Amino acid sequence: MKDKHAQVYQQEASELLEELEAALLELKDDSTNKELIGRIFRALHTIKGSGAMFGFDNIVSFTHDIENIYDLIRNNKLKVTDTLTGLTLDACDIIRDMLGGGSPDASIRQALQKQFTQLISGPADGQSGGSSDEDRHEGHETTWRIRFRPRQDIFAAGVNPVLLLAELKDLGPCRITALTDDIPMLEDIDPESCYISWDIVLTTDQGENAIRDVFIFVEDRCDLFLEVIDWPTLADDNSYKKLGEILTERGDIHPNTIQKALGAQKRLGEILTSEGHVTPERIHSALAEQEHVREMRARQSAASAGAATIRVPAERLDTLVDMVGELVTVQSRLSQLAERIIDTDLALVAEEIERLTAVLRDNTMSIRMLPISNTFSKFKRLVYDLSKELGKDVRLITQGGETELDKTVIEKLNDPLVHLIRNSIDHGIEAPDIRAAGGKPRAGMVKLSAEHSGAHVLIKIEDDGAGIDAARVRRRAVEKNLLSPDAVLSETEILSFILAPGFSLSDTVSSVSGRGVGMDVVKKSIDSLGGTIEIASRPGAGSTITLKLPLTLAIIDSLLVKTGDSFFVVPLASVEECVELSRADIEQAHGRHVITVRDEIVPYIPLRKSFAIAGAPPEIEQIIISSVGSERIGIVVDQVVGEHQTVIKNLGKFYRDIQEVSGATILGDGTVALILDVAKLAAKAEAETLVPA
């Protein structure tokens, strides 16, 4: 039993250590940040406190001194220095060692401890200046009541109010109610006038200026009322003002009317509207405010109580996802059945189940989604260590850490990213003196960013180093017989040679990189995730490596198509549109496989021919236009059946060499349909056109 608890402690402590490291590295750049110091202190305190409970006495005594130091810092009695953060990082390693049951060299430990003690006895000076408080609400989650009343002529200024509202939504959770009571009768409507106004309830930590900034260009064409209605200290329980209070506060109604209405024992909103005191929209808007504040308060109290998360073993989640996958398959069977047996009751049930399954699927998938920030913060330590080792000064900037990705994708992403960051620091970033000579800041920069792009996530590793010399890559590729000397290639194509196995530009092998084994491993792992790698470089200015990864690996939305007797699915993410291909179109192209779609010439691949499917094509075929990289390409099929929720199944070892098919799925009737990999299909078709048959 004790072992089990100790295990939990070990796991927790190592997570705390990670957090501690992240905070320490941030502190290096922002040494007066109170919040960071608080975080560090708390992490140390928890490691010590729980360590005592589980008998990790060495950790307790070791952590104790460090904790004292951060307590002093917290009370402004000591200043943060680079030496201190460096020492604390070393201490983290020692604690990690102790956690693993190791007993680190006592002399190192004592030396560290001594250095720490010296820090305490050293001069304690310097009060950090308190930050000025310009925007009282900035940094605290505050709920605002915003009443946006555009003048009728707002459209004349070329303003689309919907865009403003969308911008507001970016600031935080918000509820918008449109007030339509000013819309005149149809015959009186001037289509160029705006008759709608909006009530918005927004919870944000951005402060008043951020909200006003949204409306900055329409200030003189609208009336804008801003009011704080709730902030954290105000909330002692989850109850909020009553409907009547809100309405009177907003000036929508006179208090007397409320008093009178309350006398009648009915729902206040109903009475007020039925008696015509106030329009239903205004009631609706007030109710929305009530609900919003309640929700926000519930969220806050849940967060502060620490009950917002539960730890669940990953296998249980995997089982859940498998089960949902099976459910989705059965559901599509039910839908198909309901379509065949025409029965209203059955159709109703089938539709309801379809809706619920879709919600369940999305929810289950979102459980598996994790923000990539954890992975990112791990790299801070890597960059710190590497730049020390290589005598370079490198700062890591991360962006978009909140971007969520499937758990498995994140796990498999770790190693490739380590490789790429190492490469950037070792090969990309120059030594400080060289940088200074080249007119760049001495400190190099590696930027790690993540962002959503459709059903994909783009992860970029940028550096401001020397960049990759395309000419040198080309020479190497020719030397290694990977490329014929007279081949005409774009720069991107040349750069992608660095992904080839055994390819290295470095003439020397360092402990960090240069063996030419890294990049092909990176490529393999990204391939296995169904992702792609793109390399861009500007000599002297740095390079950017972009990883494009699918959001999830388990279930995707796709388009079900049919050719001959075979069903195929095309991931919806790669589908742009479907167009018809008639015999006349084919004749017009004079035997070339191209069609004009929206004034653009799009090449297409006839699937029937490509996959040698028997039978003659129908009179009118369908082309699925998809985007591959920056190009558009069509896939010709007999028939588009419809959308399909696809549970991805692996085809197994025997089919691993088949590239055009990325997997299989089971259809409603139990047959297996293959999932097309459009990019690979296009690449294959291209390769076959180039080689004369």
Partner 1 sequence: MAVSKITETRQYLTFKMEEETFALDVGKVREILDYTNITKVPRTPDFMKGVINLRGSVVPVVDMRLKFNMPAQERTVDTCIIVVEITIEDEQTVLGALVDSVQEVFELEPAQVEPAPRIGTKLNTDFILGMGRRDERFVIILDIDRVFSIEELDIAAAMTEATS
Q: Does 653 bind partner 1 (CB under 8 A)?
A: yes
Residue 611: CB minimum distance to partner 1, A: 3
Q: Does 77 bind partner 1 (CB under 8 A)?
A: no
Scanning 123-131, 226-234, 299-307, 669-677 for contacts with partner 1 by CB under 8 A, the matching segment is: 669-677
Scanning 44-52, 280-288, 591-599, 670-678 for contacts with partner 1 by CB under 8 A, the matching segment is: 670-678
Q: Does 652 bind partner 1 (CB under 8 A)?
A: yes
Task: Decide: 309 and 207 in contact? Cβ < 8 Å.
Answer: no
Q: Are strands 672-676 and 661-666 parallel, antiparallel or unpaired?
A: antiparallel
Q: Which of 171, 211, 637, 666 binds partner 1 (CB under 8 A)?
A: 666
Q: By C-beta, is 516 or 663 nearer to partner 1?
A: 663
User: What whole-number distance in Å separates Cα of residue 189 and Cα of residue 196?
Assistant: 12
Q: Does 394 bind partner 1 (CB under 8 A)?
A: no
| Distant-in-sequence, close-in-space partners of 214: CB < 8 Å, separation ≥ 6 | 164, 167, 168, 171
Q: Which of 651, 668, 680, 683 binds partner 1 (CB under 8 A)?
A: 651
φ, ψ at 69 (rounded to 5°): -60, -45
Starting at the earlier edge strand, list the strands of the sheet with 394-399. 394-399, 444-453, 456-463, 542-550, 532-538
User: What whole-number distance in Å separates Cα of residue 554 and Cα of residue 487?
Assistant: 40
Q: By C-beta, is 231 or 611 nearer to partner 1?
A: 611
Q: Does 670 bind partner 1 (CB under 8 A)?
A: yes
Q: Does 320 bind partner 1 (CB under 8 A)?
A: no
Tokens 């198509």 identify what position?
561
Residue 636: CB minimum distance to partner 1, A: 14
- Residue ranges of the alpha helices (H) in 369-450? 373-390, 407-423, 432-437
Q: Are strands 672-676 and 566-571 parallel, antiparallel or unpaired?
A: parallel
Residue 481: CB minimum distance to partner 1, A: 21
Site for partner 1 in 540-599 (CB under 8 A): 566-567
Q: How many amino acids of this chain bind partner 1 (CB under 8 A)?
A: 26
Residue 660: CB minimum distance to partner 1, A: 7
Q: By C-beta, is 535 or 676 nearer to partner 1?
A: 676
Q: Does 655 bind partner 1 (CB under 8 A)?
A: yes
- Residue ranges of the alpha helices (H) in 202-313? 208-214, 243-250, 255-263, 268-274, 280-305
Cross-strand partners of 637: 622
User: What whole-number distance in Å separates Cα of residue 287 and Cα of residue 267?
Assistant: 12
Scanning 24-32, 266-274, 337-345, 663-671 for contacts with partner 1 by CB under 8 A, the matching segment is: 663-671
Helix (H, G, I), strand (E, B) or coil at 54: coil
Tokens 């459009």 identify what position?
678
Q: Does 326 bind partner 1 (CB under 8 A)?
A: yes
Residue 341: CB minimum distance to partner 1, A: 21
Q: By C-beta, is 514 or 668 nearer to partner 1?
A: 668
Q: Does 323 bind partner 1 (CB under 8 A)?
A: no
Q: Which of 180, 209, 650, 689 binds partner 1 (CB under 8 A)?
A: 650
Q: Which of 671, 686, 688, 689 binds partner 1 (CB under 8 A)?
A: 671
User: What whole-number distance in Å separates Cα of residue 319 and Cα of residue 75?
Assistant: 49
Q: By C-beta, is 623 or 666 nearer to partner 1?
A: 666
Helix count and strand count (H, E) for the chain: 22, 21
Q: By C-beta, is 4 or 653 nearer to partner 1?
A: 653
How many Cβ atoms are within 10 Å of 542's Cβ, its own excluded?
A: 23
Q: Which of 649, 668, 680, 683 binds partner 1 (CB under 8 A)?
A: 649
Q: Are strands 600-606 and 620-628 parallel, antiparallel or unpaired?
A: unpaired
Q: Does 169 bind partner 1 (CB under 8 A)?
A: no
Site for partner 1 in 604-633 (CB under 8 A): 610-613
Residue 485: CB minimum distance to partner 1, A: 27
Q: Does 155 bind partner 1 (CB under 8 A)?
A: no
DSSP string, 672-685: EEEEE-HHHHHHHH
Q: Does 654 bind partner 1 (CB under 8 A)?
A: yes
Scanning 150-158, 294-302, 523-531, 657-665 for contacts with partner 1 by CB under 8 A, the matching segment is: 657-665
Residue 357: CB minimum distance to partner 1, A: 16
Q: Does 677 bind partner 1 (CB under 8 A)?
A: no
Q: Does 657 bind partner 1 (CB under 8 A)?
A: yes
φ, ψ at 111 (rounded to 5°): -60, -45
> Which residues of 504-598 form beta strands (DSSP E)?
532-538, 542-550, 555-563, 566-571, 575-582, 594-597
Q: Which of 500, 664, 682, 685 binds partner 1 (CB under 8 A)?
A: 664
The number of angstroms, rounded, from the C-alpha of 667 to the middle of its chain's C-alpha atoms is 30
Q: Which of 369, 661, 680, 683 binds partner 1 (CB under 8 A)?
A: 661
User: What whole-number distance in Å separates Cα of residue 94 and Cα of residue 11?
Assistant: 16
| Distant-in-sequence, close-in-space partners of 444: CB < 8 Å, separation ≥ 6 | 387, 392, 393, 394, 395, 425, 428, 429, 430, 435, 463, 464, 465
| Distant-in-sequence, close-in-space partners of 378: CB < 8 Å, separation ≥ 6 | 18, 414
Starting at the earlier edge strand, list the strands of the sheet with 142-150. 174-179, 197-204, 142-150, 222-230
Please give the structure tokens belonging to residue 421.
Answer: 């960051």
Residue 553: CB minimum distance to partner 1, A: 15
Q: Which of 672, 686, 688, 689 binds partner 1 (CB under 8 A)?
A: 672
Residue 490: CB minimum distance to partner 1, A: 28
Q: Does 316 bind partner 1 (CB under 8 A)?
A: no
Q: By C-beta, is 357 or 449 nearer to partner 1?
A: 357
Scanning 221-229, 456-464, 636-644, 646-654 for contacts with partner 1 by CB under 8 A, the matching segment is: 646-654
User: What whole-number distance in Å separates Cα of residue 32 and Cα of residue 339?
Assistant: 66
Residue 567: CB minimum distance to partner 1, A: 8
Please give the structure tokens belonging to residue 358.
Answer: 């879709």
Q: Does 673 bind partner 1 (CB under 8 A)?
A: yes
Residue ranges in contact with partner 1 by CB under 8 A = 326, 329, 566-567, 610-613, 649-655, 657-658, 660-661, 664, 666, 670-674
